[in-house]
Amino acid sequence: MNKKIYLVAQKLKAILFTVFFNRADDSKIILAKVKSNGFALEHIKNQTPTICLAAVKQNGQALQHVQMQTDDICLMAIKGSSYALQFVRQQTPEICLAAVNQHGFALRYVINQTQQLCLAAVRQNGLALLHVKNQNSEICLSAVQHRGDALRYVIKRTPIICLAAVQQNGDSLRYVRDQSPVICLAAIQQSSNSLRFVRSKSIAVCLAALEKDGTALRYIAFQTTEMCLTAVSQNGLALQYVKLEQTEDLCLTAVKANGLALAFVINKTSEICQASVAQNGIALKYVLDIHQTERLCLVAVSQNGLALRYVVKQTPKICLLAAAQDGTCLIDVIELTHANCLAAVQQNYQALIEVADQTLDICQAAVRQNSLALLLIRVQTENICHMAIKEDPFSIQYIHHQTTELCLMAVKRNGAVLQHVRQQTQAICMAAVAQTPNALNYIRDANVYSFCRDQMNIQR
Over residues 292-302, the pLDDT tens digits come to 999 999 999 99
Query: Can you give the pLDDT at residue 460?
Result: 61
Assess if residue 289 is contained within a domain.
no
How many Cα atoms are found within 13 Å in the side-chain-facing hemisphere of 14?
A: 11
Assess if residue 356 is contained within a domain.
no
- Dihedral (Cα; 217, 221, 226, 227), 10-degree rounding: -20
With 80 as the cut, is the pLDDT of residue 45 above it?
no
165 touches 175 (CB < 8 A): yes
Q: How far is CA 243 from CA 191, 201, 218, 301, in A?
A: 23, 16, 9, 33
| Distance from C-alpha of 279 to C-alpha of 67, rounded to nearest angstrom | 75
With 70 as the cut, is the pLDDT of residue 438 above it?
yes
| Distance from C-alpha of 110 to C-alpha of 107, rounded to nearest angstrom | 5
- Amino acid at the residue 402: Q
Assess if residue 438 is contained within a domain.
yes
With 60 as the cut, is the pLDDT of residue 22 above it?
no
168 touches 148 (CB < 8 A): yes
Helix (H, G, I), strand (E, B) or coil at 30: helix
| Distance from C-alpha of 458 to C-alpha of 306, rounded to nearest angstrom | 60
Percentage helix, strand, coil, to 5, in the chain?
A: 75, 0, 25
Mean confidence (pLDDT) of the chain: 90
| Distance from C-alpha of 205 to C-alpha of 188, rounded to nearest angstrom | 8
With 60 as the cut, is the pLDDT of residue 431 above it?
yes
pLDDT digits (tens, 9 = 90+) for 262-310: 999 999 999 999 999 999 999 999 999 888 999 999 999 999 999 999 9
Average pLDDT (194-215) is: 94
Confidence band for 19, pLDDT divided at 50, 70 and 90: very low
Query: Can you give the pLDDT at residue 17?
Result: 52
Query: Can you give the pLDDT at residue 33?
Result: 77
Average pLDDT (378-384) is: 92
Average pLDDT (227-236) is: 97
Query: Can you give the pLDDT at residue 74?
Result: 86
DSSP output for 174-192: GG-SS--HHHHHHHHHH-G
pLDDT digits (tens, 9 = 90+) for 107-124: 999 999 999 999 999 999
| Distance from C-alpha of 453 to C-alpha of 459, rounded to nearest angstrom | 10
Assess if residue 425 is contained within a domain.
yes
Residue 442: domain span: 387-459
With 90 as the cut, is the pLDDT of residue 28 above it?
no
**Is 86 buried (19+), middle (13-18) or exposed (0-12) by CB count in 10 A?**
middle
| Distance from C-alpha of 132 to C-alpha of 111, rounded to nearest angstrom | 11
With 80 as the cut, is the pLDDT of residue 60 above it?
no
Average pLDDT (231-258) is: 97
Query: Can you give the pLDDT at residue 3?
Result: 58
- Please count the structural domains in the chain: 1
| Distance from C-alpha of 34 to C-alpha of 20, rounded to nearest angstrom | 14
Assess if residue 278 is contained within a domain.
no
159 touches 183 (CB < 8 A): yes
Could you give the percent of the chain with pLDDT greater than 90?
76
What are all long-range contacts of 75-79, with beta carbons under 8 Å and residues at least 24 apart? Answer: 78/102, 78/106
Average pLDDT (215-219) is: 96
Confidence band for 51, pLDDT divided at 50, 70 and 90: confident
Assess if residue 430 is contained within a domain.
yes
Query: Can you give the pLDDT at residue 26?
Result: 62
Assess if residue 400 is contained within a domain.
yes
Determine the Cα angle at 119 with ends 113 and 122, to 5°. Answer: 105
Assess if residue 160 is contained within a domain.
no
Closest CA to 283 of 293, 299, 294, 85: 299
- Dihedral (Cα; 229, 235, 236, 242), 10-degree rounding: -50
The set of residues, in sequence order, having a beta carbon less than 8 Å from that of 105 and lying 6+ positions away, is 82, 121, 125, 127, 128, 131
| Helix pair angle (446-459, 426-435), 10° resolution | 40
pLDDT digits (tens, 9 = 90+) for 330-376: 999 999 999 999 999 999 999 999 999 999 999 999 999 999 999 99
